[in-house]
Amino acid sequence: AQTVTQSQPEMSVQEAETVTLSCTYDTSENNYYLFWYKQPPSRQMILVIRQEAYKQQNATENRFSVNFQKAAKSFSLKISDSQLGDTAMYFCAYAGGTSYGKLTFGQGTILTVHP
Amino acid sequence: GAVVSQHPSWVICKSGTSVKIECRSLDFQATTMFWYRQFPKQSLMLMATSNEGSKATYEQGVEKDKFLINHASLTLSTLTVTSAHPEDSSFYICSAPGQGRLGGQPQHFGDGTRLSIL
């Protein structure tokens, strides 16, 4: 079975600084996808970034980028120029390449951005 | 764009009551719907997968008779918490896969239902 582990229950960062959230996963599949989701206090689930395992290039979306280390099964999220609106719970998630997007989530990291 | 409408957003009811949560796909057909449960400050745990016109697939440890799932049409999936008790109080979220490469397709999440059983 696939597992996703986020070892940082809580993180904090000053506004405008950079923070990195860690995620490791375990799978025996070759084809899969990794995601970072943001859940603000409203509890809506918002997709931050997506990485396809067969792509070596790290995904980036504006201030958000990932460091995907396939051999190490590591998938960290870097948030640059942190903003107050980035305060949320962040989930790392995994979906197998033969699934219909069935997600396995990590435990989550609560990120607080301080002014 | 594709949206999943989830209702109700918040429900409070007495112990022993059955509660139905609806998730409707707007502007797209959802042949599959995932149902998750989330406790405060914890992760989303997959409860079951519903497929239109067939029986739902439940994850290990989820009581099928407690959490009834129906997916009678391509746009509607429902979760009924039967004879709810305080321990069933939680946040329930549905999601439906959109178009895209298998496994990597976007997930369209409902806004969630906060269920409080007194």
pLDDT of chain B, 118 residues: tens digit per residue = 679 999 999 999 999 999 999 999 998 888 899 999 999 989 999 999 999 888 999 999 999 999 999 998 999 999 999 999 999 999 999 999 887 767 777 899 999 999 999 9
Omega within 30 of 0 (cis) for the link into B8: yes
> Both tokens of residue A64?
């958000």
3-state SS, residue B117: strand
Q: What residues of chain A, 82 to 111, have a C-beta less than 8 Å from chain B?
A: 89, 91, 95-108, 110
Chain B touched by A68 (CB under 8 Å): no
Q: Are B115 and B89 in contact (CB under 8 A)?
A: yes
Model confidence pLDDT, tens digit, residues A36-79: 999 999 999 999 999 999 998 999 999 999 999 999 999 999 99
Closest partner CB to A33 (pick from B42, B91, B104): B104
